[in-house]
Structure 1
Amino acid sequence: MSKSNVNPPLTPPAPTSQVPSSVAAPKKKKPYPFWLGGVAATIAASITHPLDLTKVRLQASGDKRMLDSLQKTVRTAGVRGLFDGISGTWMRQMSYSMCRFWAYEESKKLLDATSPSAPAWKLGLAGSMAGGIAGLVGNPGEIVMVRLQGDFAKPPEKRFNYKHCFDALFRMVREEGPSSLARGVGPNVFRAVLMNASQLASYDFFKATLLATPYFDDNIYCHFTASFAAGTVATTVCSPADVLKSRIMNASGPGSSSTIATIRTALANEGALFVFKGWVPAWMRLQPTTILIFLTLEQLKRGVDWTRGKGWEAL
């Protein structure tokens, strides 16, 4: 009997693991521009400048009440006087604030704290790292801002009479030496560490906590509530360093930049509670500033997302 010449059935090819292009892995989201935080902070600080001006003058002078300080400013310099030194505010925000927002995001990446579930201690550490860097970078702008704002609270013979922020910067170097740009750098860095650990980190923490509840979505109501809580925390935590920074930076002359000497003099003349002098105007200034910063920043981010969605990748 002859063998059959029937060929064995063909084995079907094994399925491939290729993924259709239509379901390819999603493209990693492009980071937001590093300068968004600086722009948001500059807009917010411009709006709240009169309150910031009053806070600095309360801390650097003998005024007792916020209303008294506001009335004195309007009486001596008019309504325009409420915006004295605003160029210093812009210089400070575009150096210090731009740096701190950028450094905070980079620090979160370094600490693997970019997810909404990141622990509070990692957020606080990232904020502290950002504050240390920004405090150093922004110290000259901080001094210029404080001096420009505090000038009219002094007797005419003791005023610096700077024309604008760049005049202040150049005259400080020429008249007091380059080391004047580092005046009060210790309290300023310390305050920046506290500010960013309490403001930036607590905003992220409160926002994530609110979004984890069924009562909030990622919208302006959530952003407002989180920033309100962050502003209160930041004001209380930063008050001691803020008072010392303002007094040291407003001082001039040999020995006037000593932190220890400033503390001893204030303790002897005013008592331990001097570190909370100006807390109410500081809270009233920092609250709207904090709220405006984060509301503006969130809207700027949405604007960037919208432009990118339209195919414009320049941002």
Structure 2
Amino acid sequence: MSDSVPIPSFIKFVNGGISATVATVIVHPLDVLKNRMQMAGRDISVTESQKSMGYIVRSMIKEKGVSAFYPGLSAGILRQATYSSTRLGLYNTLFTVTSGKDNKPPGLPVKLGIAMISGVVGAAIGTPAEVALIRMTSDAQLPIADRRGYTSVFNALARIAREEGIATWWRGCIATMGRAAVVNMAQLASYSQSKEMYLKTGYFEDNIVLHFASSMTSGAITTIASLPVDIAKTRIQSMKIINGVPEYSGTVNAMVKVVKNEGFFNLWKGIVPYFARIGPHTVLTFIFLEQINQAYKIVAFQNSSKN
């Protein structure tokens, strides 16, 4: 049977990158909106009504029409090609390694551990694209004189290296790795655990319905757990250096300043577009990944049968 065909580790990395990239292209406008809402929260000159999702959507459409929702798409694609290829490929590889001889899935603590490792490694590799993505998606919200005007992710990375030093590619890397640890523990471990739990109920089979239910559960858990860290990461990666001093000294400092200056619940500012982005992205990523993996197994099984 095709289900018994093993998937090489290299293919797991490729399939992970493809599935996440396709999902990103679909949900990119929501990522842009989420970043704009998070950046609006820090501007004291902006009224509360101007920080609302509805106002920001209307202003974006008024500025540039539909194209306002697609800045930084090239950076988003590069981010998935680096970050998600690594985290999904590494998680699935480690999942196989830690499974029992009878293919019994590892326990929840092991799932959490390998998810955290996969996320941290992926974040370290994908941070340069992440920095470019944050800057490109929030550029239109800056005063005209301060806008960077990057034309593509490669233009952004080249200018950042030339104007600010190549080390700036990894600005906020620790915050990004911290967020990735939280996101991947919540997302990957909860997806695997949800699949097992739903299958045990007897109401599900291993098909697209199960994948949808598991990924929706994973998306909700991931949203609540990771949004505060994501806001801190966004602030750090888009911050300016004032008189030689950075606005934030780290993730915790950024979160403390958000609570102090804007209120505790602003740690979940933009939760609707964030979930609207995380939910569909999680669902699409896992559904595409499952279907791509299954297609690979079928083709590999057919080829082995011919031989």
Q: TM-score, normalised by structure 1?
A: 0.86
**Does residue 285 of structure 2 align to residue 293 of structure 1?**
yes
Question: Secondary structure in 2 aligned to 1:35?
Answer: helix
Question: Secondary structure in 2 aligned to 1:84?
Answer: coil
Residue deviations 1:113-172, cap 9 Å, x none? 794542111111110110111111111111111111111122211111100000000111
Residue deviations 1:168-213, cap 9 Å, x none? 0011111011120121111100000011111011101101111122
Which runs of structure 2 are paired with 1:196-215 in the superposition (5 Å)? 196-215=184-203
CA, structure 1 residues 307+176, in 2 after alignment: closer, same or farther (shift >3 Å)? same
Q: Is the 8 A contact 1:55 1:278 kept in 2?
A: yes
The size of the alignment, in residue pairs, is: 288
Question: Secondary structure in 1 aligned to 2:161?
Answer: helix
Unaligned runs of 5+ in 1: 1-25
CA displacement at 1:257 relative to structure 2: 4.8
Q: Which residue of 1 aligns with 2:173?
A: 185
CA, structure 1 residues 312+92, in 2 after alignment: closer, same or farther (shift >3 Å)? farther
Further displaced range: 297-306 or 114-123: 114-123
Q: For the residues of structure 1 that align with 2:74 and 2:111, how far apart are their CA atoms?
A: 32
Q: For the residues of structure 2 that align with 1:218 and 1:109, how far apart are their CA atoms?
A: 18
Residue identity in the other structure for 2:289 = L
Q: TM-score, normalised by structure 2?
A: 0.88
Instruction: Between the two structures, name the one with larger relative contact order (CA 8 Å, sep ≥ 6).
Output: 2
Residue deviations 1:81-118, cap 9 Å, x none? 21111001001100000010112123324544794542
**Does residue 52 of structure 2 align to residue 65 of structure 1?**
yes
Residue identity in the other structure for 2:247 = S
Larger CA Rg, structure 1 vs 2 = 1
CA, structure 1 residues 116+229, in 2 after alignment: closer, same or farther (shift >3 Å)? farther
Q: For the residues of structure 2 that align with 1:113 and 1:48, how far apart are their CA atoms?
A: 36
Further displaced range: 127-136 or 246-255: 246-255
Which runs of structure 2 are paired with 1:133-148 in the superposition (5 Å)? 133-148=121-136
Corresponding residue to 1:101 among 58, 65, 88: 88
Provide the aligned C-alpha RMSD in A. 2.0
Residue identity in the other structure for 2:6 = K
CA displacement at 1:278 relative to structure 2: 1.2
Corresponding residue to 1:86 among 70, 73, 87: 73
- Identity, in percent, stands at 31
Q: Which residue of 1 aligns with 2:247?
A: 256
CA, structure 1 residues 50+199, in 2 after alignment: closer, same or farther (shift >3 Å)? same
Residue identity in the other structure for 1:230 = S
Residue identity in the other structure for 1:309 = F
Q: For the residues of structure 2 that align with 1:140 and 1:245, how far apart are their CA atoms?
A: 13
Residue deviations 1:270-296, cap 9 Å, x none? 122221111121111100110000111
CA, structure 1 residues 55+117, in 2 after alignment: closer, same or farther (shift >3 Å)? same
Q: Is the 8 A contact 1:49 1:86 kept in 2?
A: yes
Question: Secondary structure in 2 aligned to 1:88?
Answer: helix
